[in-house]
Structure 1
Amino acid sequence: MSHSTITGRILTSKGWLDGALHVMPNGQIGEVTGSAPASEGAQRYVLPGFIDVHVHGGGGVDIMQGGATVTDVARLHVQFGTTSLLATTMTAPMAEIQTVLKHIQVNTQVRPTGSARVLGVHLEGPYINPSKLGAQPAHAKRAFIQEVDALCDLVDIRLVTIAPELEGHLDMVEHLSRKGVRVQIGHTLGSYEDGVKALEKGASGFTHLFNAMTPLKHREPGMVGAAMAHAEYSEIIPDLLHVHPGAIRCAHRAIPRLFCVTDSTAAAGMPDGEYKLGSQVVNKCLGGVRLADGTLAGSTLTMDQALRNLVSIGMSLEEASNMLSLFPADYLGLADRGRLETGAWADVVVLDAHLKIVEVYVEGERIEFTHVPRS
């Protein structure tokens, strides 16, 4: 890989610079040079690449289909600025989960050309409350340490979603946290008190805040209340369907490092129609994805649209960028991603004045656009 230079208004850890970002042959950032902006607007914004820790599919394929679909999904989402992601599983029979994890491991040992980096796995099920499935299939079960450790031996599981109110799950939260696996509270009927106990045991976040969890009421704060009162980090889906803009702004004020995910399905980047989400059929229509009974089932969101949505509801571009890049990187303990500074990977998104994607770089590789986005 040859040395390259990316120019524009660059978001650095010290603020905006009008200048140049120099990419070294090894795919890392050599230096960022420039001066403070002299005007408000810019023709080109250079941001850290987006990091999505909750991705089920895209481009017509679902990660639970196994095989090389994880690569297909990573190649779809990189077209929209996602430079690294966690492949996210669905609740399913254990044998199916094991098979899919083995396929993910085989297909992510090397990053293919034109692909986002798959950092590992987000195990969203099956350790969730069977009475709060959301769009998950009905294969929820209790977690046992030996079983979960065996799954961790198959692939790099970076994140696990757990309903903490189930028997034995607080011990599982503590066990996983000690192993260095991030634990998120989600698909739960747990109380505020259950959430606080889980955080005390080492849980570090919440899965798609507000969705598939007990709501905030003034005499029963619920799991949302636990997040608002105590969380440092939490996911949120900013497609403006899953969560009202006002609720996003409430969460942004309450949770210091709220970060965005797509929870995207096979329907992302595709026209309206029927798609698979795990073992279920979902329908994309009017910008959303739903089960036959109308339940929201993941999203069609891409990270570039998430950025524009956040700006549209009143957040600054810097705030929105942090929610898509810096905060998820810090959440996963990645000091070399999610920021544009010397020594970090050259994961870069270049946007025009309307915040539309112009260029994407992953570890210094300039991505060729092959996908025609469809609304």
Structure 2
Amino acid sequence: MTALVRAPRIVTADADLHDGWLLVDDGLVSATGSGAAPTTETTTSVEGTIVPGIVDLHAHGALGHDFASCSADDARAAAAHHRSRGTTALIASIATGPVQDTVDALDRLRPLVADGTLAGLHLEGPWLAPARRGAHRPDLLHHPTPAEVDAYLAAADGALRVVTLAPELPGALDTITRLVAAGVVVAIGHTDATADQARRAVDAGATLVTHLFNGMPPLHHRAPGPVGVALTDERLLLECIVDGHHLDPTAVDVVRAAAPGRLVLVSDAMSATGCGDGDHTIAGSAVSVRGGVARLADGSSLAGSTITVADAVRRLLTAGVPVAEVVAAAAVRPARLLGRPVPLSVGAPADFVVVDHDGRTTAPTVPIGAARAVPASAHRSTSQEATP
């Protein structure tokens, strides 16, 4: 079946279509345009603005489930929560744990990558700087070894897509080279690196910065560190957690002004996402969630977020950031970094999110399949998260 989807506005990676339409064959976009459209048996009209489905490079779980330790079935439930909020491609982040536990998590989650539930796996730890550990247990942090790198790659068997590490650790630069050769995106994060050490990491193949400003020394005019390199080296994409807690809005504006075209929205969602306030665990550390904000139980650090990327999208749109810029940060750049087709591009999956006319909320993604039409009411947006 061929289906036509119409909306007052459709923003793709390459076009901003008013009175737009998508032609969908077997779940894939075969053509896009505006105004007069091809005649099909099935036409779906959508209220609001259609944008590509969200790609989240960094999420630890949801609904009480932590990807580092939960069962495959619970991981599916957590991924479904993110998808219901518009995240059509999710990288499952595995926080620092004992080496064997990490190997087991990679092995357990690998089938979910093979069947498309997850877009890949992300190791955030154990190769992190103790001084910038955040919620990661200091006794589990250590520098990488070739044997450990090989163990993780073998357990993931192609499913490992992102690794965050501190480039100043012994063996880190060789590890970057090894991982990049294996097709893994390397991110600089949880690091106490100097600017020179950060630059060497980029020269070795690092292309991403994990939650910029968080888990690293602040920018200083005589010691710019990883933040200075992130803002000035155009080879890097920059993760930002836009939840109203990890970054002041002015810091987000700094990234947009100093590094145009390089912002990537991530959730860094921990297991409490989709739950109420309470006590949880991440990376072996006790976490308290109060007012939707996750902190270590001792109050010393934030411990991930309780949002999905749709909430960050809403914040930026409400702040007046152009829709096309938000689309690039939430979908286009992360998809291209992973080597995935960008949703709504011709030949790519017809996964999309609908932004209401007020520009503040996003609707769940609904794939348009060959077997059925999706009623417009299924796309109407509602507020999805209880957290601010």
Counterpart secondary structure, 1:224: helix
Counterpart secondary structure, 1:175: helix
Number of aligned residue pairs: 361
Are 1:238 and 2:242 matched, yes or no?
yes
Q: How does 1:11-22 map to 2 (within 5 A)?
A: 11-12=11-12, 13-22=14-23
Q: How far apart are 1:23 and its partner, in Å?
A: 2.1
In 2, Cα distance between the equivalents of 1:204 and 1:70? 27
Determine which of 74, 77, 80 is the counterpart of 1:75: 80
2:295 corresponds in structure 1 to: 290
For residues 315-355 of structure 1, the C-alpha deviation after alignment (integer angstroms, 9 at most, x for no partner) is: 11111111000011111122x22x42220111211222134
For residues 138-174 of structure 1, the C-alpha deviation after alignment (integer angstroms, 9 at most, x for no partner) is: 2111111232122112221111001000111111112
1:136 corresponds in structure 2 to: 136
Are 1:211 and 2:211 matched, yes or no?
no
How large is the Cα RMSD of the aligned pairs? Answer: 2.3
In 2, Cα distance between the equivalents of 1:72 and 1:99? 19
Contact 1:191 1:214 (8 Å CA) reproduced:
no
Q: How far apart are 1:373 and its partner, in Å?
A: 4.1
For 2:49, the aligned partner's letter is: Y
1:314 corresponds in structure 2 to: 320
For structure 1, the 5+ residue unaligned runs are 37-41, 112-116
Q: How far apart are 1:109 and its partner, in Å?
A: 2.6
Counterpart secondary structure, 1:54: strand
Determine which of 44, 48, 54 is the counterpart of 2:52: 48
Counterpart secondary structure, 2:286: strand
In 1, Cα distance between the equivalents of 2:155 and 2:5? 38
Contact 1:23 1:29 (8 Å CA) reproduced:
yes
Contact 1:137 1:280 (8 Å CA) reproduced:
yes
Q: How far apart are 1:302 and its partner, in Å?
A: 1.2
For 2:355, the aligned partner's letter is: L
Are 1:106 and 2:111 matched, yes or no?
yes
In 1, Cα distance between the equivalents of 2:20 and 2:368? 20
Determine which of 248, 251, 255 is the counterpart of 1:247: 251
2:40 corresponds in structure 1 to: none
Contact 2:255 2:263 (8 Å CA) reproduced:
yes
For residues 273-316 of structure 1, the C-alpha deviation after alignment (integer angstroms, 9 at most, x for no partner) is: 12232323322212311111212100011111110111233311
For residues 158-210 of structure 1, the C-alpha deviation after alignment (integer angstroms, 9 at most, x for no partner) is: 11001000111111112212222111000001111111111111111110000
Are 1:61 and 2:65 matched, yes or no?
yes
Are 1:187 and 2:187 matched, yes or no?
no
Contact 1:135 1:297 (8 Å CA) reproduced:
yes
TM-score (norm 2): 0.87
Are 1:272 and 2:263 matched, yes or no?
no
In 1, Cα distance between the equivalents of 2:311 and 2:369? 23
In 2, Cα distance between the equivalents of 1:79 and 1:252? 28
Determine which of 344, 351, 354 is the counterpart of 2:355: 351
In 2, Cα distance between the equivalents of 1:45 and 1:314? 15
In 1, Cα distance between the equivalents of 2:152 and 2:366? 32
Counterpart secondary structure, 1:325: helix
Cα distance change of structure 1 residues 359 and 75 upon mapping to structure 2, 3 Å threshold: closer
Counterpart secondary structure, 1:246: helix
Contact 1:349 1:361 (8 Å CA) reproduced:
yes
In 2, Cα distance between the equivalents of 1:306 and 1:215? 23
Are 1:154 and 2:155 matched, yes or no?
yes
Q: How far apart are 1:83 and its partner, in Å?
A: 0.4
Are 1:178 and 2:178 matched, yes or no?
no
TM-score (norm 1): 0.90
In 1, Cα distance between the equivalents of 2:369 and 2:210? 31
Counterpart secondary structure, 2:162: strand
The worse-fitting range, judged by mean Cα deviation, of 227-236 and 348-357 is 348-357
Contact 2:17 2:33 (8 Å CA) reproduced:
no
In 2, Cα distance between the equivalents of 1:96 and 1:358? 36
Q: How far apart are 1:56 and its partner, in Å?
A: 0.1
Q: How far apart are 1:364 and its partner, in Å?
A: 4.1
For 2:274, the aligned partner's letter is: G
2:262 corresponds in structure 1 to: 257
In 2, Cα distance between the equivalents of 1:322 and 1:134? 28
In 2, Cα distance between the equivalents of 1:349 and 1:266? 23
The worse-fitting range, judged by mean Cα deviation, of 192-201 and 175-184 is 175-184
For 2:6, the aligned partner's letter is: T
For structure 2, the 5+ residue unaligned runs are 37-45
For 2:329, the aligned partner's letter is: M
2:39 corresponds in structure 1 to: none
Contact 2:307 2:385 (8 Å CA) reproduced:
no
